[in-house]
Chains A and B, each alone.
Chain A
């Protein structure tokens, strides 16, 4: 909530009864509200248009423009204005009709100051909530639009690079000594195509994690086995980068309950990051243990590290460190976001400890596997 003192909310009272106007004004003013009173529908509507009140109290039975018409005309001015109708016992039916046409509530005459206070407070609360959710809706729409722009930019960038290479090749093909350049550019086009494919497959993985289809399966999964396999796969890639991969996991199985392919994606992301953002001569060490009903896996690298100011955004969608000095490493900006989503789906947690220039350690904690109580193959809750 903003700390600035809000201007008092305005309430308009439209009633042909002088005594009623006077007492309403007194009660409302005591509530800290700005109360403006009008003696008939026409003047009342002018007042509403000019004052933009949060709430209007209107008597249904007045000479001139009927209260009923006032209700609908107020909402033509601003549909967010809360309307409370005052009615005599004889006109309860009309009150119900008024509510059907958009009034918020009704006060049967005679009413006590407390009743007025209660209904006005409730009405204003309701209005605040409606305005807040409207604001949230606008913000969501804006965020979505920005997101769409961003994703289309990410998808188009590699395509543009490829298109531009091909188009320039087409334009320059005659005579020029393009032979060597052509070979180089074809290689670049292939690289960029690969980048685009990675982006699309990460994007799909994310959509599946979000849709829950990828994390639905809950089976006993041994992380020792899964991570061991991943480390073997990347041995060569790591060696090419001059990075050593160390498996420091304990001998015994580290079992969690989850989807194996999801867990593979998770640790694949963390281990490849450890290799990609490393330095020649560095290492990636994976260790783990079971403690207090949880399996903890730590992936520690001796790489470039993550400056503190970027850490809060690390798991955000498409977040990439925008440092001119940062090593340009290929990536979609989705890996860690996907990892976080997977961990969340499995009721675990992920955090990072890092020192810029010295390396980062990602720690994943997942609930340990528990044998189902009955020996039949019931699935764990």
Chain B
């Protein structure tokens, strides 16, 4: 079964290009246009990896999703899914949340900048997915 990647981003063009890229590499791609839909789809489909945009013009934005995934009980089963956060603004979580060094859980597994460095992104994704598959 191909590994499934969920893209949570409010920019449909960004999703379209990344979808094509991932499909060409044999991934199955799911898309959500808002943080709210993203959370729903994480719970429903349990993807193998998540690519999450930080600044979205929707009611639940990037860190809202991270927070829910890491802290809310209904997502307990989804906590191990590799989470990549992406943004065009290179702002590390430490800068945004001065306490994040202490609250380790709110940190994404990877923080990538937009536009994606394609070879690097594909490599990181492959490794992350392989690691979770091994753990199963």
Is A377 close to B, CB under 8 A?
Answer: no
Check if A164 sits within 8 Å of B17, measured CB to CB.
yes
Render B96-136 as a binary contact track against A, CB cut-off 8 A, 1 for contact.
00000000000000000011101000000000000000000
Check if B11 sits within 8 Å of A161, measured CB to CB.
yes
The interface size bin for chain B is 20 to 34
- How far apart sit A185 and B18, CA to CA, in the bound complex (Å)? 12
Closest to A178 in B: B20
Closest to B55 in A: A153
With beta carbons under 8 angstroms apart, the residue of B11, B13, B118 that contacts A167 is B118
Check if A161 sits within 8 Å of B17, measured CB to CB.
yes
Check if B118 sits within 8 Å of A171, measured CB to CB.
yes
Q: In the complex, how many residues of chain A place their beta carbon closer than 8 angstroms to a beta carbon of chain B?
A: 25
Chain A contacts with B in 139-160, Cβ cutoff 8 A: 149, 152-153, 156-157, 159-160
B118 proximity list for chain A (CB < 8 A): 167-168, 171
Is B1 close to A, CB under 8 A?
Answer: no
Render B1-34 as a binary contact track against A, CB cut-off 8 A, 1 for contact.
0000000000101101110110010000000011
- How far apart sit A160 and B91, CA to CA, in the bound complex (Å)? 16
Render B75-111 as a binary contact track against A, CB cut-off 8 A, 1 for contact.
0000000000001110100000000000000000000
Check if B115 sits within 8 Å of A164, measured CB to CB.
yes
Known: A171-B118, A172-B24. A153 touches B88 (CB 8 A): yes
Check if B89 sits within 8 Å of A164, measured CB to CB.
no
Is A220 close to B, CB under 8 A?
Answer: no
Check if B88 sits within 8 Å of A164, measured CB to CB.
no
Check if B59 sits within 8 Å of A323, measured CB to CB.
yes
- How far apart sit A217 and B4, CA to CA, in the bound complex (Å)? 60
- How far apart sit A185 and B116, CA to CA, in the bound complex (Å)? 17
Is A322 close to B, CB under 8 A?
Answer: yes
A-B contact pairs, 23 of them (CB 8 A): A149-B91, A153-B87, A153-B88, A153-B89, A160-B11, A160-B114, A161-B13, A162-B13, A164-B13, A164-B18, A164-B114, A165-B16, A167-B17, A167-B116, A168-B17, A181-B20, A185-B17, A188-B16, A320-B57, A322-B59, A323-B59, A324-B36, A324-B37
15 further A-B contacts with Cβ under 8 Å, apart from A160-B14, A324-B58, are A153-B87, A153-B89, A159-B88, A160-B115, A164-B14, A164-B17, A164-B114, A165-B17, A168-B20, A176-B24, A181-B20, A188-B16, A320-B57, A322-B58, A324-B37
A-contacting residues of B (Cβ < 8 Å)?
11, 13-14, 16-18, 20-21, 24, 33-34, 36-37, 55, 57-59, 87-89, 91, 114-116, 118
